[in-house]
A and B are shown apart, each in its own frame.
Chain A
Amino acid sequence: MGNESPVYNTKVTTDNYQPAQMAKETCLGFREHDRGNRKKAITHFAFVDKLQFSHLDETEAQQAATAYVNALFAKDDVEIQHLRSGQLDRDGLRDADWSPVKTQFRIRASIVGMDPLYAEYSTEGWRKHKVGDDYWKPLLKAQQYELRAALQDCTYPRKPKDGQSGFGPESMRYVLAVELHDMHTDAYWEQARDVMIPYFERILQEQSNE
């Protein structure tokens, strides 16, 4: 990839144009964070937050996105403090003070109206993602809270039959996108975007039903 923001071969139809754009902007937000472009990352995440959290005004959505990006950069700071000869000191990272990250997640949770546990699980997920533990479960839990806020439905995923465990198909999609992002190739970025399109479709669909 060059220095420019990646351009995807969008598989977009008139039906899913907006969710596809939201998925793309989410990927771009992460990409800009990887490049250290704080302002651009906020712009991309704010685009998504404005649409997915329809109960927020524009300023609030912007601040929610800012908190998320601040959390990403706070995570970077923790990592930098535990770099030893270019390698992450995973044991040190495990015991590190992650409260600056959690503080930003708490801010996001408060603005969006999410359960404060979102901050706990997000921080735990990111920490485990770096130190080599199972990060899926905490991230799934966190994403479930975020989805509940976006859908304004505290009962999500509301499964219809006996199979009640799990955090909802949309939560799984989002976390799969995180896994795909770890591969750091254009092809996987495209997959990350594609896998998230139904995630945002679900949110927008719910909003249009209100």
Chain B
Amino acid sequence: MSELSPSFSDEDVQSNSLLSLGEGVNPSDINVLIVDDDHDIADLTSTFLTREKPRFEVRTENSVQDGLEYIDDIDAIVSDYDMPNQDGLDFLEIVREEYPELPFILFTGRGSENIASEAISKGVTDYLQKGSGSSKYSVLANRINNAVERHRAMKTLKHSERRFSQLVKNSSDVISIVNENAQFSYVSPSAEQVLGYDSEELLGESIFSFAHPDDRQHAMERFFEAIEDTSTEPVVQFRFKDPDRTWPVLESRGQNLLDNEFVNGFIINSRDITELKSREQKLKQHNEQLKDIKETLSQGLQDPISVASGALELYQSSGDQSHLEQIEGSLVRIETLVEQILELSKQGEETIEVEELSLQNAAADAWSTISTNGSKLNCMDSKQFKADPNRIQQLLKSLFSNAIEHNTECVTISVETTNSSIFIEDDGSGVTDEDQELIFDPGYTTKKGQTGFGLTIAQQVALSHGWEITANTGENGGLRFEITGITFEPKTFE
């Protein structure tokens, strides 16, 4: 074994990767391993190479076996062909098993077409014949230099690609490239998690075939406008048809890079904003509700306050005790109003806690909390359903109270169900079509002394469960409420 080149120590021999070079290693250095059974030629080659390229750090070994000990730490191998025990092609074959792309130059004095051909088939980087004169070493030095530069550039590129791939794979956004007809040509792997489709499934499909029909036109217009005008970078929100048909809302940002030679497409970056939209919607509803409360609170309190203050004045001037009753009545009304407004404001704020309920039990519980004044409840149907028990009691209480308080005679209230709805119907005098339109509006009432918030609360309870409530005229002319969108549990108790 020959000696190490003076500047080539074990400590200096670091990874052959430019990207993993340790501290103190000059990335411009090129570590070359020369394997030649002829000591003199190995040393001569080393001397010429370092003279040609000062950046070369050269190590020489005289057998394949010895050379193999160092292949982990070098940037290029220069090997003789004809060596005892294992020749240069054997060496190449072993190296290629672990380092398929490490620059390997066969530098031989006994070249032939057959050897060259076999070397190429085994993946040699370059093949050079030894010869007399120093010019061969110049050529060899250049070939080593170029091969290492290429190899390093390729490694950098691959590393960059891997890093990009990891970024894209782990992104919560879906990055896609579509052609000018909006068909996917690339979809990042995150599509599976975000959209529910494997990337491969989407290739060739038009992105708009997944858009909700009601959102498609707008999304297409923004996209194709950007195809025409490359300066436009559209941002579009649309519902996306996922395999479960839950229609998540996507926000997609597009950039026209059809003329970009590397992309050659329209990049679309999409993220799921379903939760954000839901929060926006809730906030909007809440704000509207607060606005309604503010308006009706100021109007609703005006009457009882003015009655109370008038009665107080009269009492103070006359001492007549009957005015105190008026004051008491006004205070009760104010108290009821405040309670109902607090109840209403809770609907939009607190999280509902659902549990399985029996309709018959829920109706009986609500009935027990109100003054029925001789009216009757008829609830034979006791399907099971999931709801917040406190809120459902509030809803039923509001509907029952409304029926009792708005009819002069006693009424019978029937509670019935269909496959997905509940009917609450009384046999009273009913309300006009006009009142049916306004009946859920905050503060709206047809009876003096009522707050007009009971049915608004009932509606908010229904909405907080994802149900809808409507009012219309029943078969017997009374008022009939229908709550739709309910999922009943299969079991029915009689």
Q: Which residues of A contact B (CB under 8 A)?
A: 59, 63, 66-67, 99, 102-104, 106-107, 109-111, 113, 115-116
Contacts and interface: CB of A to CB of B under 8 A. Distances in A.
A115 B179 CA distance: 11
B213 A59 contact: yes
A111 B227 CA distance: 15
Contact of A106 (B213, B227, B229): B227
Contacts of B213: 59, 63
Contact of B228 (A59, A99, A111, A115): A99
Contact of B182 (A59, A66, A102, A110): A110
Nearest to A105: B224
B204 to A, nearest CB: 11
Given A106-B227, A110-B208, 19 more contacts: A63-B216, A99-B225, A99-B228, A99-B229, A103-B221, A103-B224, A103-B225, A103-B227, A104-B224, A106-B181, A107-B217, A107-B221, A109-B181, A110-B206, A110-B220, A111-B220, A113-B206, A116-B180, A116-B181
Interface residues of B, number: 15
A116 B266 CA distance: 14
A208 to B, nearest CB: 26
Given A110-B182, A110-B208, A111-B208, A66 B217 contact: yes
Nearest to B219: A107
The 10 lowest CB-CB distance pairs between A and B, nearest first, are A99-B228, A106-B224, A103-B224, A59-B213, A107-B220, A116-B181, A116-B180, A110-B182, A110-B181, A103-B225
Contacts of A106: 180-181, 224, 227-228
Nearest to B178: A110
A113 B227 CA distance: 17
B454 to A, nearest CB: 42
Nearest to B214: A59
Nearest to A103: B224
Contacts of A110: 181-182, 206, 208, 220, 224
B357 to A, nearest CB: 39
Most A CB contacts (10 A, CB to CB) among B181, B216, B217 go to B181
Nearest to B213: A59
A113 B181 CA distance: 8
B245 to A, nearest CB: 15
Contacts of A99: 225, 228-229
A196 B206 CA distance: 31
B29 to A, nearest CB: 52
Contacts of A59: 213
Contacts of B220: 67, 107, 110-111
A110 to B, nearest CB: 5
12 contacts: A63-B213, A63-B216, A66-B217, A103-B221, A103-B225, A103-B228, A106-B181, A106-B228, A107-B224, A110-B220, A110-B224, A116-B181
A114 to B, nearest CB: 8
Nearest to B183: A110
A102 B208 contact: no
A63 B215 CA distance: 11
Nearest to B208: A110
A75 to B, nearest CB: 15
